[in-house]
């Protein structure tokens, strides 16, 4: 079972300027069967906006913490830190940002040892590989994959909610898929393209899944190009180039402009490793294969040599990092997508990784799993500083390759879905900010 903190009360009282009041009840979660909280003797609760701090020591019935704060529409997070009898920090966690505007709400914060990876509170419904995942505004959407032995495509789609660390099954996909490409649209919508169907053939369907429609979301089929020459594909990426606009990797390169799905002829194909920068005046994407390809201003250009089997991620400052792949290297390649310059960070990884899963938070880059030169899944993840790409820690994980890594709004990273198939999900939890 998932452990819950033994708290008498951990409550935020919120008072608005019009006299309205609300209560935010905070509970704590840990990994299943964890006894981490048993050693916590002092608990600190920090509200980042408006900034308030309260502490309590363990009593006969646990902890009793309460805060009265003025309501604000500015988003802030709740940070929890647990200290042992010697004063050492042994547990930490935080909520996603939310507005304390005299509301009534409940938030569950997952706490773990700082800079650690542990099992998430909820697993997938079954052991699956070839699972797709994408960040949404309040967590992650997780779809499809191969289930069972020898492995049949699944029609499951579920939403991981970072506000309470629940995993809720959505409306089943219109058809089963493994290796489907998935990306976020407006923050609550997920777009899904292609994948392998139940008959073992590649598909060319494009669906939109709206996570806000009660009770389990809603699918809309935008187009089905399975019969169109070259459109069907599996194991590729949807890379955003605008609001609900995407490039789809593979051969030929496909583009969805929000209305129509078309093939591009200005580049032969794109590898399934890429990342984008959308906040700039000109949306830009970088793709990593044998060469580094940039898409900018509706044009492609080559920036230099790259690596097969790599992964790409967008750093907080707008640069794009390429990690792993072959030729095997522990170096990171960093691209300035605007200037087109390419630099190398030597020895960023603890070991060379082929097909790792990568995600970036505001402070860290997590490079998880992949395979070694012999093809064996790697049972570790490297945590890098998101600014310098210096190695912060190498942490044990479930050995998996071809999995997913999704940055959550709680500053954690959700891992899962690779081979060998597993139902368990894992969470990276950083030290407090």
CA distance 35 to 405: 26
What 3 state SS string does 47-114 have?
EECCEEEEEEECECCEEEEEEEEECCCCEECEEEEEECCCCCEEEEEECCCEECCCCCEEEEEECECC
Structure tokens at 419: 């081979």
pLDDT one-digit tens code per residue, 93-144: 999 998 877 566 788 999 999 999 999 999 999 999 999 999 999 999 999 9
Domain identity same for 182 and 323: yes
What is the pLDDT at residue 19? 58
Which element (helix H / strand E) includes 312? strand 311-314
Domain identity same for 49 and 147: no
CA distance 200 to 178: 9
Block residue for tokens 């609300």: 22
Domain identity same for 230 and 107: no
Residue 405, number of CB atoms within 10 A of its CB? 27
Domain identity same for 423 and 324: yes
What is the pLDDT at residue 21? 64
Q: Which domain holds residue 57?
A: 2-114
CATH number at residue 391: 2.120.10.80
Domain identity same for 241 and 105: no
Structure tokens at 131: 């699972």
CATH number at residue 21: 2.60.40
Domain identity same for 293 and 203: yes
What residues form DSSP beta bridges with 415? Answer: 405, 426
What residues form DSSP beta bridges with 385? Answer: 364
Domain identity same for 105 and 127: no
C-alpha triplet 16, 100, 26: angle, nearest 5°: 120
- HSE, CB side, 13 Å, CA atoms: give it for residue 208: 17
Q: Which of 114, 138, 165 is the last residue of a domain?
A: 114
Is residue 406 within 8 Å of residue 392, measured between CB atoms?
A: no
What is the pLDDT at residue 49? 85
Block residue for tokens 């060998």: 420
What is the pLDDT at residue 16? 56
What is the pLDDT at residue 150? 78
Is residue 324 within 8 Å of residue 356, measured between CB atoms?
A: yes
pLDDT one-digit tens code per residue, 352-408: 999 999 999 999 999 999 999 999 999 999 999 999 999 999 999 999 999 999 999
What is the pLDDT at residue 60? 81
pLDDT < 70 regions, the chain: 1-22, 69, 71, 102-104
DSSP tag of 270: B
Domain identity same for 400 and 251: yes
Check whether the bond before 50 is cis (ω within 30° of 0).
yes
Domain identity same for 6 and 27: yes
- Domain total of the chain: 2
Domain identity same for 23 and 70: yes
- CA-closest candidate to residue 42, choices 9, 66, 64: 64
CA distance 239 to 277: 10
What residues form DSSP beta bridges with 110? Answer: 29
What is the pLDDT at residue 22? 67
What is the pLDDT at residue 8? 37
Is residue 429 within 8 Å of residue 113, measured between CB atoms?
A: yes
Backbone angles phi, psi at 36, to 5 degrees: -55, -45
Domain identity same for 200 and 262: yes
Q: Which of 69, 84, 114 is the last residue of a domain?
A: 114
Structure tokens at 241: 């180039």
Domain identity same for 33 and 67: yes
Buried b (16+ CB within 10 A) or exposed e, 267-300: beebbbbbbbbeeeeebbbbbbbeebbbbbeeeb
CA distance 407 to 239: 16
Distances (CA, A) of 149 to 129, 201, 400, 421: 11, 18, 17, 10
CA distance 159 to 152: 21
Q: Which of 70, 98, 114 is the last residue of a domain?
A: 114
Backbone angles phi, psi at 225, to 5 degrees: -115, 30
């Amino acid at each position: 079972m998932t452990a819950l903190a033994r708290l008498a009360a951990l409550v935020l009282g919120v008072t608005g300027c019009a006299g309205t009041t609300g209560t935010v009840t905070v509970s704590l979660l840990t990994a299943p069967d964890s006894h981490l909280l048993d050693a916590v003797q002092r608990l600190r609760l920090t509200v980042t906006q408006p900034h308030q701090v309260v502490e309590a020591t363990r009593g006969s019935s646990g902890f009793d913490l309460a805060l009265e704060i003025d309501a604000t529409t500015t988003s802030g997070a709740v940070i929890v830190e647990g200290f042992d009898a010697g004063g050492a920090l042994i547990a930490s966690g935080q909520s996603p940002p939310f507005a304390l505007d005299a509301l009534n709400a409940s938030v569950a914060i997952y706490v773990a040892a700082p800079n650690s990876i542990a099992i998430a509170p909820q697993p997938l419904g079954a052991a699956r590989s070839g699972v797709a995942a994408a960040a949404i505004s309040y967590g992650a959407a997780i779809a499809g994959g191969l289930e069972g032995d020898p492995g049949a495509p699944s029609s499951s789609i579920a939403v991981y909610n970072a506000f309470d660390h629940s995993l809720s099954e959505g409306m089943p996909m219109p058809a089963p898929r493994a290796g489907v490409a998935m990306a976020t649209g407006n923050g609550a919508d997920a777009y899904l393209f292609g994948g392998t169907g139940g008959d073992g053939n590649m598909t060319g369907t494009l669906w939109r899944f709206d996570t806000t429609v009660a009770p389990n979301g809603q699918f809309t089929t935008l187009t089905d190009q399975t019969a169109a020459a070259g459109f069907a594909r599996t194991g590729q990426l949807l890379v955003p180039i605008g609001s609900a606009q995407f490039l789809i990797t593979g051969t030929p390169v496909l583009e969805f402009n929000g209305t129509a799905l078309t093939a591009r002829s200005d580049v032969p194909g794109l590898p399934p490793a890429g990342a984008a920068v959308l906040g700039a005046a000109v949306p830009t994407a970088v793709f990593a294969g044998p060469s580094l390809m940039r898409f900018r201003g509706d044009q492609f250009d080559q920036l230099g040599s790259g690596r097969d089997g790599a992964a790409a991620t967008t750093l907080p400052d707008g640069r794009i990092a390429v990690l792993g792949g072959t030729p095997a290297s522990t170096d990171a390649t960093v691209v300035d997508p605007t200037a087109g310059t390419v630099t190398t960070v030597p020895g960023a990884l603890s070991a060379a990784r082929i097909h790792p899963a990568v995600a970036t938070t505001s402070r860290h880059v997590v490079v998880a799993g992949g395979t070694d030169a012999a093809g064996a899944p790697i049972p570790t993840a490297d945590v890098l500083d998101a600014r310098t790409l210096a190695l912060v820690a190498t942490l044990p994980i479930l050995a998996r390759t071809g999995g997913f890594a999704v940055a959550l709004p709680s500053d954690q990273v959700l891992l899962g879905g690779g081979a060998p198939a597993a139902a368990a999900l894992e969470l990276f939890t950083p030290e407090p900010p």
